[in-house]
Structure formats: C-alpha cells, structure tokens
Amino acid sequence: MTQTNLYDYSSVNIRQQFTVRFDYPVLFTRQSFNLDNPTLIDLINNLDESPKLLPVIDSEVVKSHPDLVNQIHDYFETQAVPTLPEIIIQGGEACKNDDTLLDTIYQAVETHAIDRHSYILVIGGGAVVDAVGFAAATAHRGIRLIRMPTTVLGQNDAGVGVKNAINYHKRKNYLGTFVPPFAVVNDFSLLNTLTQRDKRSGISEAIKVALIKDQPFFNELYQQRHLLAKFDDKAMENMIIKGAKWHLHHIATSGDAFEFGSARPLDFGHWSAHKLEELSNNELRHGEAVAIGIAMDSIYSHKQGHLSELELKHILVLLNTLGFELNHPALQLLNVEQALAEFKEHLGGRLCITLLNGIGDGFEVNEINTQTMIESVQAIQNNQIKQYVEQVA
C-alpha cells in the first residue's frame, strides 16, 4: 500500500529581513583621566548591575605615560566604577600575530565574570585596538568596547570604524569581525609622546580620504603641508577631525557598512600597502605603506589617462613634503600580479580597486593592467617622483 505525502513543502519560502540600527559616539577631548573631565564617565551606565570595566593597554603607551595606569584606577574609583586589574599587551603589529592574546582576554572575562553589560576599555595604537576589538566582539558574542586610540592613524581612521581583526599565518586581518564599538574617545593629549614617524604615518589616511572624497580637504592639506610636516597642533587636530568625519560618513552612507560587496573605496592605496607591510616584516608602519600605495595608484591613474599631471604632482609633493619615504626596499620584493590576486581573494573573489578620476573623485575598476602597474612601481624605484617634485617646487 502506497503512503501519500499529505504535505508538500517544496513551495515554502520564508524570507527573513530586519534592520539593526547602530549608534555610537566619537568624542574628542584632552586629559581624559583628569577627575574634572566627565567624557569617559558619562559613557558608563551606572544603573546596570555590576558595570565592571577592564582596561587593556598598549605596552608602548604605558612606557610613554608611566602614570597612566594609576590615573585610570583613580578616575574610575572616584566615580565608583569597579575597575579590574589592567592587562598590558605588546604594542604594534606583533600583538595581532600573538596566539596567546585572545586567550589572555577570554580568561580575564571568565575569571572576573565580565558580562555583556560590562566594559572593556582599550587604550593603544591601531593594531592593539584591532586585536582587543576582535576579542571583545567574540567573548559572550559581544562585550561593550570603548576605544581610546593613541595614534594619529587610529584617531582619524581605523579607531573610529567598525572593523576588528587579528592576523593569521602572517596574513593581515585574516580573522575579523564587523562590530561597532560602544564608543570612541579621541584624546589629543595621548598623541604628545608619539614619535615624528608615528605622527607622520597617520596623515596618509587623511590624504587618502581627501583624494577620493573631498577636493577642498585635499587643497587644505596641501596648503598646510609645511605646518603638518612640523606637526603643528592646530593643523594636526583639524586633519584628524575631518579625516574621522569622512570615515564615519562613508560607513553611515555607503549602504555597505560591513562590506558585503567587493567595492572598498576607502581602501585606496591599500591593495599594495598590506602586502608591503608583510614583505617588510612589519618594519613599514601601516600609514607609511599606505603612502607608498597612494603614490603607486596615483601614478597608475595618471598613466591610464584619468588623473592630470598637475594633480599627480600635487599628490607627490604633499607626500614628499611630509617626509614619507616612498622608494622603500620592500618594493623590490613586490610581485604585483600575486599581490593583486591575494587582494582579490581578500575582497571575496572579485577584484575591485579604487583609482582617481581627479583629486576628490575616486572610482572603482575591476581590472588592472599589470604591466602598467609594474611601470608605476618602477617610476617610484627610479626616483621619477623627485622630478615631479622639483618641477612644482
């Protein structure tokens, strides 16, 4: 006897759709741990049961600010916020390659019963903020993270966004999440002890966003290039705030805040930068590699007929005046075809590179003429940039 199936599910199709709203403040201040400064404490919800706070601090920041740990504990103790023993982690890209870092933070979360309504306060450079952000995003599926970036690059770019990551098998940002922070506090006073090299490094991200989004901003950076080269406080703070605003504006309005597609317009100059960092064994700072990538892709844009020669000269003059070393030995090791293939894989299988139609006018392409890009690299290696700079000067 044949059993008849009374239910046919072949036509059932439930499509789930909902919207999640993200909202977090990015605050600019000085002397955050001064007892008279309410910026940080105003972020803490004291009405929650047991609002514990775990400070995780970049070792380099602790060296530069030896009183910082005591200031943190005094600040929150005065405000009756239970502050746990701080965790000091190695600064720089090495922390993103450290297999023990995640376990250190996960153990602290478990040991101190840190819940989703408690806080992790990360204070450090971009790599530390990235790595701790990944740990915070994955413990309990998300603990409130307050970012306090201590580098120019962190304050005007990486630290204000929604990305968190660690490296895997030396592949940069191979493991990561898209999780917005609870808040970002940009404390300008924490930049005072940075080396000139680190201050300079962060300017490249502002140049990047100006080139692809905002011609007047680029013109302002160009006009203030000598002040920026001296790291004038007013010029630097203006650059940081405007760079951060553009980064936040893109996240909010691009329609692809978590990068489900392949287009990454804010990655101008980055396809090669990540590879150059790897090839230099991270001797190159991220911002230094981005500066090289900007020069490379600007030269390529010119060679492809998109960017005028005068515009190219202004870009190269700005980078040169700021003191970026564009002809770095890592360029000799760069395999353009391989680097493009790896970037394509990172994007999700479709190559999408941002180029310049002009200053302030970025656009995406899905193919790169490898030979022309190699020639663009060679132009840097053959010191042709010096010729452009001398013509403008």
Q: Which of 213-222, 321-330, 338-347 has the lowest mean pLDDT?
A: 338-347
Provide the pLDDT confidence category of residue 3 given band limits of 50, 70 and 90: low
What is the tens place of the pLDDT at every residue in 319-340?
999 999 999 999 999 999 999 9
What is the tens place of the pLDDT at every residue in 164-194?
999 998 788 889 999 999 999 999 999 999 9
What kind and span of H or E run contains 187?
A: strand 183-187
Provide the pLDDT confidence category of residue 84 given band limits of 50, 70 and 90: very high
Q: What percent of the chain has pLDDT over 90?
A: 78
Provide the pLDDT confidence category of residue 39 given band limits of 50, 70 and 90: very high
Q: What percent of the chain has pLDDT over 70?
A: 95
What pLDDT does 1 receive?
A: 54
Mean pLDDT of the residues in the chain? 92
Provide the pLDDT confidence category of residue 260 given band limits of 50, 70 and 90: confident
Q: Residue 369 corresponds to which amino acid?
A: N
SS3 87: strand
Determine whether domain 26-191 maps to CATH 3.40.50.1970.
yes
pTM summary value? 0.89
Q: Give the Cβ contact number of residue 147 at 10 Å.
A: 30
What pLDDT does 118 receive?
A: 93
Provide the pLDDT confidence category of residue 150 given band limits of 50, 70 and 90: very high
What pLDDT does 29 receive?
A: 97
**In terms of Cα–Cα distance, which of 59, 128, 119 is closest to 88?**
59
What pLDDT does 350 receive?
A: 83
- The CA-CA-CA angle for residues 24, 28, 34, to 5°, reads 110
Kind of pairing between the strands at 171-178 and 163-168: antiparallel
Pick the CATH number of 196-246+256-392 from 1.25.40.10, 1.20.1250.20, 1.20.1090.10, 2.40.70.10: 1.20.1090.10
Q: Using CA atoms, how far apart are residues 269 and 327, in angstroms rounded to an integer?
A: 15
What is the tens place of the pLDDT at every residue in 300-314?
999 999 999 999 999
What pLDDT does 267 receive?
A: 81
Q: CB within 8 A of 155, min separation 6: which ones?
A: 149, 186, 188, 191, 202, 240, 244
Q: Where are the domains of the chain?
A: 26-191, 196-246+256-392
- For residue 45, is pLDDT > 90? no
What is the tens place of the pLDDT at every residue in 376-385?
999 999 988 8
